[in-house]
Chain A
Amino acid sequence: EPEVTQTPSHQVTQMGQEVILRCVPISNHLYFYWYRQILGQKVEFLVSFYNNEISEKSEIFDDQFSVERPDGSNFTLKIRSTKLEDSAMYFCASRVGRTVYGYTFGSGTRLTVV
């Protein structure tokens, strides 16, 4: 079964450093997402991406965050200057069509900011 692949599974970084989280969505999917889950809390929407541009972003997704699809397969989330409160699980998701059906999540990257 097709999967959304995320790397690395765990990233530890120092406060103030830049991190890039990587995702390979399912190949025929057109809509891409990043979600965040702080330990023990709900999954929160960060940003959606379609046709090489951001289609929607939440209030969490401030100027420290950016997304990119640098080639035909990768979808990245960059945090420019990490803060302690950025520590969380980050999930990439993708779906194929214009409806919301068929969301598939990756297994996540645990980001720890020290």
Chain B
Amino acid sequence: GENVEQHPSTLSVQEGDSAVIKCTYSDSASNYFPWYKQELGKGPQLIIDIRSNVGEKKDQRIAVTLNKTAKHFSLHITETQPEDSAVYFCAAPYNNNDMRFGAGTRLTVKP
């Protein structure tokens, strides 16, 4: 089955710096890779996703890159702001049905 590993578990950056979070997955058949942001007391919110037919996708300050050969994908946040502080989860599909999540990265953006 799908196994998703996420690093780092915590990340602290200064406001304005970039943050990068990395995930690896095990199932080479996986073809969809979402990233979720979870703020305190809330459910995971989809912030960006990528399908396996592209290598990079960008949405304003957020980008995701995918390397299918190496089976890893990364979240890039540029010009970080304090409101970016949250826990970020990567995920990959299992059996084209449910999602398997990484362990999460707690991002802290210091003003």
Contact = CB atoms under 8 A, between A and B. Distances in A.
A43 interface: yes
B99 to A, nearest CB: 6
A33 to B, nearest CB: 6
Contacts of A106: 43
A34 B96 CA distance: 16
A75 interface: no
Nearest to B51: A101
Contacts, number: 54
Contact of B99 (A99, A100, A107): A100
Contact of B32 (A43, A44, A100): A100
Interface in B36-71: 36, 41-46, 49
B97 interface: yes
A45 B98 contact: yes
Given A101-B32, A101-B49, A91 B43 contact: yes
A11 interface: no
Interface string A98-111: 11110111111000
B25 interface: no
Contacts of A108: 41-43
28 contacts: A41-B103, A42-B89, A42-B103, A42-B104, A43-B44, A43-B101, A44-B101, A45-B94, A45-B98, A48-B97, A48-B98, A56-B95, A56-B97, A91-B43, A91-B44, A99-B32, A99-B96, A100-B32, A100-B97, A101-B49, A103-B46, A104-B46, A105-B45, A107-B42, A107-B43, A108-B41, A108-B42, A108-B43
Query: Which A-B residue pairs are the 7 nearest by beta carbons?
Result: A105-B43, A100-B93, A43-B101, A42-B103, A107-B43, A45-B98, A108-B43
Interface of B: 32, 34, 36, 41-46, 49, 89, 93-104
